[in-house]
Amino acid sequence: MPNIWTIYRRELAAYFNSPIAYIFICAFLAIMAFFFFIFYRFFSQPNPDLRTYFEILPLAFFIFIPAITMRLWSEEKKQGTLEMLMTLPLKTWEVVVGKFLAAYSILTITLLLTIIVPLSTSFVLQNMDGQALVANYIGAFLIAGVYIAIGSWISALTREQTVAFVVSVVACALVCFMGFPNVIDWINRSVWDGMGRFVGYFGTFFHYQKFAQGQVSAVDVVYALGMIGLFLGLNNFAVESRKY
Rounded to 5, what percent of the chain is helix, strand, coil?
80, 0, 20
Q: What is the pLDDT of residue 133?
A: 85
Cα torsion angle, 123, 124, 128, 133, sign: negative
**What's residue 198's pLDDT?**
85
Number of domains in the chain: 1
Phi then psi for residue 58, to 5 deg, are -65, -25
Residue 210, pLDDT score:
84
User: Could you read off the pLDDT tens digit of each residue along the chain, which spans 244 residues?
Assistant: 788 988 999 999 989 988 888 999 999 999 888 888 787 777 676 676 777 788 888 788 988 999 999 989 988 888 877 777 777 788 889 999 999 999 999 999 999 999 888 887 777 666 667 788 889 899 999 999 999 999 999 999 998 999 999 999 999 999 988 888 888 888 888 877 778 788 888 889 888 888 888 888 899 999 999 999 999 999 999 988 866 5
pTM summary value: 0.91
Q: What gap in Å lies between CA 216 and CA 148, rounded to an integer? A: 21
Give the three-class secondary structure for 146: helix
Range of the domain at 88: 2-243
pLDDT at 128: 67
